[in-house]
Amino acid sequence: MSLLVTYRPEDAYTRAARRDRAWLAQRARAKEVQLGPVDAFTRDFVRADRHDTHVRRVFEAAKIQAVQNTADNVATLRPLAEQSDVEMADQLRQAGARQRRWRLRGFLWSESRLPRVRACGRHRAADAGVVALRRVGDSVGYAGLQTCGSPHSCPVCASKIGSVRREDILALMSAHTAEGGSAAFGAYTLAHTRTTPLNDAWDMLSVAWRAVQQNGTVRRVRSRLGHIGVIRVVEVTYGRHGWHPHIHPLHLFEGKVSDRDVRELYVAETTAWSAALKRKGWRDASLKGQRLRRVGGRSMGVDLANYISKVGYEMTHVAGKNSGKTVNHWSLLDAARRGDADALAAWHEWEEGSRGRRAITWSVGLRDRYALAPELSDDQVAGAVLGSDADDLAYIPDWGQVIASPVAGADLLEAARQGGYERLQQVADAWGITVLPANPYAPTDWKLPKRARAVLLA
């Protein structure tokens, strides 16, 4: 007789309840009293206390990381600042950000629940015989590795996708400004609590925005103002009150609009937004969380492109875009890497809730109006390989050496960018990684050590 046992992974809330019971039992044993039934108030109080402690740890980890990054940058950048070498200082900051992205992705290789994220940058592509390091001008990259194309859960792919999206928005705003158009930028959010599941909040966000787009009053106001289209950006942060999702709309108008015109559109959209939330039984959000303002100035396009790309993609110092009350998901990942079990549970909820969702959406026909190239998918952007085989600088026959030390992957790229193959060889030797110079001939024609050839041809 055999028994078929079905295992169902427990979610974050079930896990939290189990930990609460264990915590109460431990307290009861310490006081040598009998643990009776736990009422709902006591259970909620204990969960709130655990959550507040967890959020404080996440904020402390983000602050520590920010202080460390600042100290490192000051030590390395001060001589450069005295020399007025701003470009070199920016390159050093980028190198530090690349190290942090690779360090976090190395953590995800073992802790992520998404198979594609676990394989991203770890396994070779199906058609790749060996991993190649390429250099084209000042750009460097690897060829022959799998990519996941996740803009939410992979720090390396998110950086590549974010840079492309930033250039798209910058091109759009440049063309729009040249035509004499104007813009308005804002934020719409919804009420949430510590126990609100991320999936439910994100779904409600989409429902409410769809209702705004279809509302008759909103359409009439937009038509009167010469509305061209809108770019919608979703941002989700995390704090004491749980997940905080909100939408950033970027409205584009044919001519100039006044503050009064934008206020009229704001009233119409917030009215439709609140009505949609009430219809679905969702508690209305405070007006303090809703805003829409006219934007302008010479640097309008650059400022908006930088902000939107940093909302969900970039990590300026691992934590990325953090406010005083909330942090973004990269801070959760960094706290989880430092050993915070609650942050890891929240990260797993983030992976599941954000999977398959788009961070940026454009109105239909907006790209065609400004003669922009067709939009590439996240997979296409992340999977794009730098240059061609002729741009190969070196080969790494044993990629497992990089897997053992993920930060080495970032250091090799920076070394190749700074000093070519000679500098690359020095850094590789310091890490104990075998690199082979690129050669126009077949690997079997190289005069290599037997061990290196055996690894390369394996």
Query: Do residues 230 and 364 both lie within one domain?
Result: yes
- Residue 251 within any structural domain of the chain: yes
Query: Do residues 165 and 69 both lie within one domain?
Result: no
Stretch 61-86: mean pLDDT = 47
Task: Report the pLDDT value the prediction gives residue 338, as an integer from 0 to 100.
Answer: 92
Task: Report the pLDDT value the prediction gives residue 458, as an integer from 0 to 100.
Answer: 47
Query: Do residues 293 and 367 both lie within one domain?
Result: yes
Task: Report the pLDDT value the prediction gives residue 144, as an integer from 0 to 100.
Answer: 93
Query: Do residues 262 and 250 both lie within one domain?
Result: yes
CB atoms within 10 A of CB 196: 18
How many domains would you assign to the chain?
A: 3
Q: State the residue range of the domain holding 451.
A: 51-148+392-456
Is the pLDDT confidence value at 297 over 70? no
Q: Which is it for strands 131-136 and 436-437: parallel, antiparallel or unpaired?
A: unpaired
Nearest residue to 207 (alpha-carbon basis) of 274, 290, 285: 274
Range of lowest pLDDT (8-17, 361-370, 396-405): 8-17
- Residue 7 within any structural domain of the chain: no
Q: Tens digits of per-residue pLDDT, 264-276? A: 999 999 999 999 9
34 φ, ψ to 5°?
-85, 130
CB atoms within 10 A of CB 247: 19
Q: Which is it for strands 182-189 and 242-253: parallel, antiparallel or unpaired?
A: antiparallel
Nearest residue to 133 (alpha-carbon basis) of 396, 427, 426, 399: 396
Distance between CA atoms of 290 and 90, rounded to whole angstroms?
35
Task: Report the pLDDT value the prediction gives residue 33, as an integer from 0 to 100.
Answer: 39
Q: In this structure, are residues 332 and 347 in contact, taking their beta carbons and an 8 Å threshold?
A: yes
Residue 398 Cα distances to 28, 299, 401, 416, angstroms: 54, 47, 6, 18
Task: Report the pLDDT value the prediction gives residue 47, as an integer from 0 to 100.
Answer: 53
- Residue 18 within any structural domain of the chain: yes
Q: How far is CA 92 from the centre of its chain?
A: 21
Task: Report the pLDDT value the prediction gives residue 216, as an integer from 0 to 100.
Answer: 96
Nearest residue to 354 (alpha-carbon basis) of 193, 159, 119, 117: 117
Tokens of 200: 């439910």
Query: Do residues 97 and 224 both lie within one domain?
Result: no
Query: Do residues 37 and 61 both lie within one domain?
Result: no
- Residue 379 within any structural domain of the chain: yes
Query: Do residues 309 and 193 both lie within one domain?
Result: yes
- Residue 225 within any structural domain of the chain: yes
Query: Do residues 169 and 258 both lie within one domain?
Result: yes
Task: Report the pLDDT value the prediction gives residue 194, as an integer from 0 to 100.
Answer: 86
Range of lowest pLDDT (10-14, 250-254, 420-424): 10-14
Range of lowest pLDDT (27-36, 95-104, 293-302, 327-336): 27-36
Nearest residue to 397 (alpha-carbon basis) of 441, 341, 449, 445: 449
Tokens of 397: 């026959």
Q: Tens digits of per-residue pLDDT, 123-173? A: 999 887 899 999 998 899 999 999 999 999 999 999 999 889 888 988 998
> What percent of the chain lies above the pLDDT cut of 90?
52
Task: Report the pLDDT value the prediction gives residue 8, as an integer from 0 to 100.
Answer: 41
Residue with the bigger pLDDT between 234 and 321: it is 234
Stretch 188-192: mean pLDDT = 89
Query: Do residues 26 and 67 both lie within one domain?
Result: no
Stretch 431-444: mean pLDDT = 73
Is the pLDDT confidence value at 277 over 50? yes
- Residue 332 within any structural domain of the chain: no
Q: In this structure, are residues 231 and 366 in contact, taking their beta carbons and an 8 Å threshold?
A: yes
52 falls in which pLDDT band (50, 70, 90)? low
Task: Report the pLDDT value the prediction gives residue 60, as an integer from 0 to 100.
Answer: 62
Q: Which residues pair with 238 in a beta bridge?
A: 243, 327
Question: What does pTM read for this prediction?
Answer: 0.76
Q: Is 362 left (phi over 0), alpha (psi -120 to 50) or beta?
A: beta
Task: Report the pLDDT value the prediction gives residue 313, as an integer from 0 to 100.
Answer: 53
Nearest residue to 401 (alpha-carbon basis) of 433, 436, 441: 433
Stretch 330-340: mean pLDDT = 92
* Greatest mean pLDDT range, 15-29, 57-71, 385-399: 385-399
Nearest residue to 189 (alpha-carbon basis) of 277, 290, 267, 281: 290
Q: What is the CATH number of the domain that holds 177?
A: 3.30.70
54 falls in which pLDDT band (50, 70, 90)? low
- How would you class 413 by CB atoms within 10 Å of its CB: exposed for 0-12, middle for 13-18, buried for 19 or more? buried
434 falls in which pLDDT band (50, 70, 90)? very high
90 φ, ψ to 5°?
-65, -35
Q: In this structure, are residues 358 and 206 in contact, taking their beta carbons and an 8 Å threshold?
A: no
Task: Report the pLDDT value the prediction gives residue 97, as an integer from 0 to 100.
Answer: 86
Distance between CA atoms of 265 and 184, rounded to whole angstroms?
10
Query: Do residues 101 and 191 both lie within one domain?
Result: no
Is the pLDDT confidence value at 30 over 70? no
Q: In this structure, are residues 292 and 184 in contact, taking their beta carbons and an 8 Å threshold?
A: yes
Please tell me the number of Cα atoms within 13 Å of 406 on its side-chain side.
20
Task: Report the pLDDT value the prediction gives residue 239, as an integer from 0 to 100.
Answer: 87
- Residue 223 within any structural domain of the chain: yes
- Residue 327 within any structural domain of the chain: no
Query: Do residues 285 and 367 both lie within one domain?
Result: yes
Query: Do residues 243 and 374 both lie within one domain?
Result: yes
Amino acid code (one letter) for 406: P
